[in-house]
Amino acid sequence: MRYSYYPGCTLKTRAKELDRYARLSAVALGAELEELPEWQCCGAVYPLAKDEIATRLSAVRALMSARDEGRTLVTVCSACHNVLKQTNEALKADANLRMKVNNYLDPEVPYAGEARAIHYLELLRDEIGFGEVKKRVANPLKGRRIAGYYGCLLLRPSAVMALDDPENPRVLEDFIRALGAEPVAYGRRNECCGAYVTLEDRAQAEKSARKIVQSAADAGAETIVTACPLCLYNLKNSAGGLPVRYITELLAEALGIAEGA
Amino acid sequence: MQGEVNEFKPLIVAFCCNWCSYAGADLAGSSRLSYPADVKIIRVPCSCRVNPLFILRAFQRGADGVIICGCHPGDCHYTTGNYYARRRMTVLFRLLEFMGIDRQRVRVEWVSAAEGAKFALVMNEFAGAVKALGENVKLGDLRCKP
Amino acid sequence: MNNENLRDLVVEISGANPRKCMRCGKCSGTCPAYAEMEYRPHRIVAMVEKGDIEPLMRSQSLYRCLACMACVERCPRSVEPAKLVEAVRLLVIRGQGQNHMSPDDIPQKLDAELPQQAIVAALRKYGK
Amino acid sequence: MQKIGVFVCWCGTNIAATVDVAAVADAMRSEPGVVYAADYQYMCSEVGQQRLIAAVREHALTGVVICACSPRMHEQTFRRAAERAGLNPYMVEIANIREQCSWIHKDKAVGTPKAIALARAAVAKVLKNAPLTAGESPVAKRALVIGGGIAGIQTALDVAEAGYEVDIVEKSPTIGGRMAQLDKTFPTLDCSACILTPKMVEAAQSPNIELLTYSEVEKVAGFVGNFTVTIRKKARYVDTNRCTGCAECVAKCPARKGKNEFNMGLDNRSAIYIPFAQAIPNVATIDASQCIKLRTGKCGICEKVCSAGAIDYNQRDEVIERRYGAIVAATGFRPISLEKFGEYAYQESPDVVTSLEFERILNAAGPTKGQLVRPSDGKHPHEIVFIQCVGSRCSEDAGKGKTYCSKICCMYTAKHAMLVREKYPDVRVRVFYIDVRTPGKNFDEFYRRAAEQYGVEYVKGMVGKVWRQNGKLMVQGSDLLNDEQLLIPADMVVLAAAIEPEPGARALATMLTASMDTNDFFSEAHPKLRPVESPTAGVFLSGACQGPKDIPETVAQAGAAAIKVVGLLSKDRLVTNPCVAHSNELLCNGCSQCEKVCPYGAITYSEREVVDRGVKDVRRLASVNEAVCRGCGACTVACPSGAMDLKGFANRQIMAEVDAICRAK
């Protein structure tokens, strides 16, 4: 099965492992991720104001391009996925926005949210199936106690993202279980890491992240995994001491395709 | 004020079932929720009492819109009356369209006795839609032609 | 601009309705940035409703919100406080020369690990 | 030749402020058939009615139109007045110029012409009216109460006390309902079982009451005074006449994994069980989904240990049919599901409980024998947090919870907090509240006592999130008055979950053709003046099935419903609605279309002799049973030959209304 793939700017620079292992693992699992021919930065945050049109356009271009290719659009970065999915759903629901966006971009075929945007975790859960993932695991991560970190972007707003239960999610735990490790559920797994505030007030971001790492450590986790480069950065900087890794690194390790493994 | 004198005032006949929609209209009234005076209500025991002939008659006599209001599906006071009404109107509306009456001039709506606000909303919306269509052409009655 | 106009503007930009608030304070019970804020989420909603926008526009609270949507998700009245914060912030930074952060501020904040998305996000949230 | 009189009511200023009543009367004077028109301040007053009577006599009126409030309000009043004047009551028509005119239009420029149009339509209709005579139908002198909680029990007791027979149908194996699950009751703190069980016993012993427990209503046919109800008595696999309630079988049953409904699933019960010690009837019931014998054919222990020989694995459901004159819905409530409130960790932690579960924990007959311990580890809690309004007062677009206030939570939370502090002064108790709503006799005093004498800490604010950490429940919430965000390491969290109608109520309402509101509470016939009657004649409402209410209110409403039932059953015959269908046999072509659409089976066909234009003929013809017809009119539209018509709403009457309204063109 072939999918369109939107890596996002951070995955081309600071988060290369997230990108590389996402692609390698997909191949190992029989899915082909084909990078969109031309893509721009999604804008990193979804604009909450109704009257922001221009800041939504690059996401629309990516979605439109996936529609034109006739494939489902897969994204692994939580932030990019949040922007793409929210933009897509807004275009489906809001006729006024749809009109303005189409007037601005003037595409050959007007865009009305026809593309299907999914997160890499949804690819694993709904397209490939965690059962299948489990079968392909070569090095089960036996005995490893791993805490999945959702943050805010994967789950909220739940009515739009519709990826999992916003308060009692389980997709990361099921993922970790499929890799043969032991998932550690902890209270703050869906609280915010501090996000972009790290540039405005590093202390505030560190405080937020520290509480999360503490909560995971108290629950007995050895490692935290995330799908978001900014979450990883904030959690690592929190001086909490737990290693933080990308979900795809862990996946590749379990599949036996990680370099140096 | 001058302009309002010539303003088009549509004539709208609303058939309301006694148990839900007529009571809903009463509730709209006691809640002081306004809707255009163009709407005139005829009380019937059930939406299934509305004979398609009544609607044809209204259009013959110059009505610009006709709306039939009944209890919500499953809530009919007579158990199944609104289902009959729905099916009959579906057929009738296609016939009306064939006769050259715009589909938007007729409507079936479910309004419960508790939905005063919905009643007012529906009537405002429907009256607005009919007004936008302009005056209707009276249906001719061939029997009256020489 | 008078208070009412400012309020109407915030309501229009955000698409959120502060009148739906029943003053339960769940937003402030949920907010991870609560301690950093001068005006807490429930207060922000009340201030917008009252038209008390100017003190809000001068407050640093606008730049402490993480837009994590926890308040939006958990609000029993779907008031969407985070959208109100963003709308007030936009009222400020859309003014000429009012960017809270500009590309020139970035170099001094860089470190080797900082992901691009943080820079883009901060510039989007804090500038035009 | 008809002589019509028109009376325009001012309704004080309710109509007169936005309708020029004199102009309406004036306009009516030139309508064909109208010989008299007048306006008056209050037509519904005795003076107003006297004026109507005088005018009928003086002008020999044959029909009357009243332009006033909704016919749903005063149609009966004016029909009776007409009757007093010697006029057939069905020669009265109402033009609704208040609810559907004066109240919704802003001035006379709009109101007056519309009132005239509505009055014209009424005049046009009354010109085609014909005198109608109401028939009579007998009343079955027995009432049915659906639901055996305190509401149903009280209604049944009151009906029985008045000398009428009454059946209680209860879906679970015992009567008692929610009240039986409660430990103490507010605001007096008396023991719930102590005041409920005497009533349960009284109901069981009353010669006029029959308890049909473990039974459900399956079908309702008929109408006021004449309901025929099909009831399914579910198989208990126990002969209730033999069972002595010794509970030997319960003790020996090896299948012990059934969820104990009485304890809100906090513990398990055996497959053969008696819900609680004071259950009525005090007999065992086998849960077929749990019983090893019924599932696999092996076991049979209960049969062996039963010295009364009451066990009967071959018992089948029994379906009975009974006639009733009146039906009372008393189906009660349940707490909502909390699946959409994951932020409170109810699904994750056994130490987060609903208030009804907490009630069972406090109860001496509950899963912990009344010991206040954490469900997770059985340890004594030191810090308990109560959260109010969980799922109540949500906006419609929030996609979760209910829009209404559940009404009882403020009081039971004060009760729980007080009981905890009274028995365990070492436990710190905090209550997060949005508002404390205590409008009831001695209610606010009760709440203040909790705060002032028992040291319950009320925190104005709401909890945002609860999670487990280091063996505690971390409760993060706002304290709005102290301007701080609290993070409380608690041992237990108690959620005041919103309440909703029992889910079976919707299907029942459909069977009864009784309407419900958008929340599935039964609608009352009038929110102020007919609060215990459903809009469907002969169907009455008791307790929380009509809306959230506490025990005193429920009992008051139960009594009110009972007196309405007694009022109905005390009549030997009821006057039937004369607005029924009838078939013109000369036009009927015998096609059976009307018979097919009639929801009541009121139409039958037979071969009859007719004389058509002097020629005798035998034809297959429809006839309407007027006692069974309810007057919906479905048949009138189905009839292809125009033979079927509806009295009071005849084709020519409605056509005349249409014509009158369209005359403006």
CB–CB contact D342 A168 (8 Å): yes
**How does DSSP assign A195-232, residue by residue?**
TTHHHH-HHHHHHHHHHHHHHHHHTT-SEEEES-HHHH
Strand stretches in chain A, DSSP E: 2-6, 32-35, 73-75, 117-119, 145-148, 182-184, 223-226, 244-246
Q: Which residues pair with A32 in a beta bridge?
A: A2
- What is the pLDDT, as a whole number, of residue D527? 77
Alpha-carbon distance D199 to D155, whole Å?
11
Determine the pLDDT at residue A36. Answer: 96
Calculate the average pLDDT of chain A. 95
- Touching check for D563 and chain C: CB below 8 Å? no
Contact between D461 and C25 using a beta-carbon 8 Å cutoff: yes
| DSSP 8-state symbol, D516 | B
Give me the amino acid identity at D47.
V
Write out the two tokens for D129. 């009216």
Evaluate whether chains A and B are touching (3 or more beta carbon pairs less than 8 Å apart): no
Share of chain A above pLDDT 90, in %: 96
CATH class of C3-94: mainly alpha
Interface mutation vs chain D, best among B40, B67, B79, B118, most D CBs within 10 Å: B40
Using a 10 angstrom Cβ sphere, with 0-12 exposed, 13-18 middle and 19 or more buried, the burial of residue B146 is exposed
| CA nearest to B81 within chain D | D634
Asked if the bond preceding D187 is cis, omega within 30° of 0, the reply is yes
B144 within domain boundaries: no
Which helix (H) or strand (E) covers residue C16, if one does?
none
State the Cα–Cα distance between residues D149 and D213, nearest whole angstrom. 11
pLDDT-above-90 percentage for chain B: 77
In order, the DSSP letters of D215-245 are EEEEEEEEETTEEEEEEEE---SB-TTT---
Q: State how far the Cα of C31 lies from the Cα of C71, in Å rounded to an integer.
A: 6
Please identify every stretch of chain C with a pLDDT value under 50, giving residue numbers as ranges.
none
Domains of chain A: 2-120 (1.20.1050.140), 138-255 (3.40.50.11810)
CATH code, domain with B82 = 3.40.50.960
Q: Please say whether the beta carbons of C90 and A48 come within 8 A.
A: no
- Chain A's closest residue to C112, CA to CA, is A14
Average pLDDT, chain B: 90
How far is the C-alpha of A35 from the C-alpha of D619, rounded, in Å? 81
Cβ contact B48–D510 (<8 Å) = no
Strands D333-335, D484-490: pairing is unpaired
Could you tell me if residue B143 is inside a domain? no
Share of chain D residues as helix, strand and coil, in percent rounded to the nearest 5? 30, 25, 40
Are B and C close enough to touch, i.e. 3+ CB pairs under 8 angstroms?
Answer: no
Three-state secondary structure readout of B13-46: EEEEECCCHHHHHHHHHHCCCCCCCCEEEEEECC
pLDDT at B2: 44
Residues of D whose CB is below 8 A from B43: 71, 96
| Better pLDDT: D392 or B8 | D392
Q: The whole model's pTM is what? A: 0.85
pLDDT tier at B1 (50, 70, 90 boundaries)? Answer: very low
pLDDT at D256: 95
Asked if the Cβ–Cβ distance from A168 to D347 is below 8 Å, we say yes
Backbone angles phi, psi at D409, to 5 degrees: -70, -40
**pLDDT value for D137:** 87
pLDDT at A261 over 80: no
Residues of B in contact with D665 (CB under 8 A): 11, 61-63, 138
For residue D477, list chain C residues with Cβ-Cβ distance below 8 A.
25, 29
Q: Give me the amino acid identity at B111.
A: V
Residue with tokens 């309440």: D499
Mutation pick from D388, D410, D462 vs chain C, by most beta carbons of C within 10 Å, is D462
Q: Say if strands D539-541 and D165-169 run parallel, antiparallel, or are unpaired.
A: unpaired
CB–CB of D420/D429 below 8 Å? yes
Interface-testing mutation among D76, D99, D513, D630, with chain B (most B C-beta atoms within 10 A): D99
- Residue B145: pLDDT band (50, 70, 90) is low
- Helix (H, G, I), strand (E, B), or coil: what is residue D458? strand
Q: What is the pLDDT of residue B3?
A: 45
The amino acid sitting at A12 is: K
Q: What pLDDT does residue A260 have?
A: 60
CB D485 within 8 A of CB C34: yes
Read off the pLDDT band of B5 (50, 70, 90).
Answer: low
Structural domains of chain D, ranges and CATH numbers in brackets: 4-132 (3.40.50), 142-234+318-332+502-569 (3.50.50.60), 248-305 (no CATH), 336-499 (3.50.50.60), 581-647 (3.30.70.3270)
Return the residue matching tokens 């932030």.
Answer: A79
Q: In this structure, are residues A240 and A217 in contact, taking their beta carbons and an 8 Å threshold?
A: yes
Interface test with chain C among A197, A204, A244, by most C beta carbons within 10 Å? A197
The answer to whether residue C13 neighbours chain A at the CB level (below 8 Å) is yes
CB atoms within 10 A of CB A249: 17
Which chains sit next to C, with 3 or more Cβ pairs under 8 A?
Answer: A, D
What are the sequence ranges of the domains in chain C?
3-94, 100-128
Which one of D518, D597, D662 has the shortest CB-CB distance to B62? D662
Q: Do D389 and C24 touch (CB under 8 A)?
A: yes
Has residue B4 been placed in a domain?
Answer: no
Q: Parallel, antiparallel, or unpaired: how do β-strands D318-324 and D226-233 relate?
A: antiparallel
Asked whether the beta carbons of residue A185 and residue D399 sit closer than 8 angstroms, the reply is no
How high is the pLDDT of residue A76? 97
Residue with token string 């879906």: D171
Cβ within 8 Å of B, D 618-637: 630-634, 636-637
CA dist list (Å): A124 to A23, A31, A184, D4, D143:
12, 10, 20, 80, 60
CB D244 within 8 A of CB D308: yes
Contact D642, D109 (CB under 8 A): no
Q: Cβ contacts of residue C14 below 8 Å, gap of 6+? A: A48, A49, A50, C80, C83, C84, C86, C87
pLDDT of residue B74: 75
Number of domains in chain B: 1
Which of the residues in chain D have pLDDT under 70? 664-665
Distance of CA D366 to the CA centre of its chain: 31
Question: Taking Cα atoms as reference points, which of D330, D433, D343 lies closest to residue A190?
Answer: D343
pLDDT at D295: 96
The boundaries of the domain holding residue B19 are 9-133
Q: Is residue B48 part of a domain?
A: yes
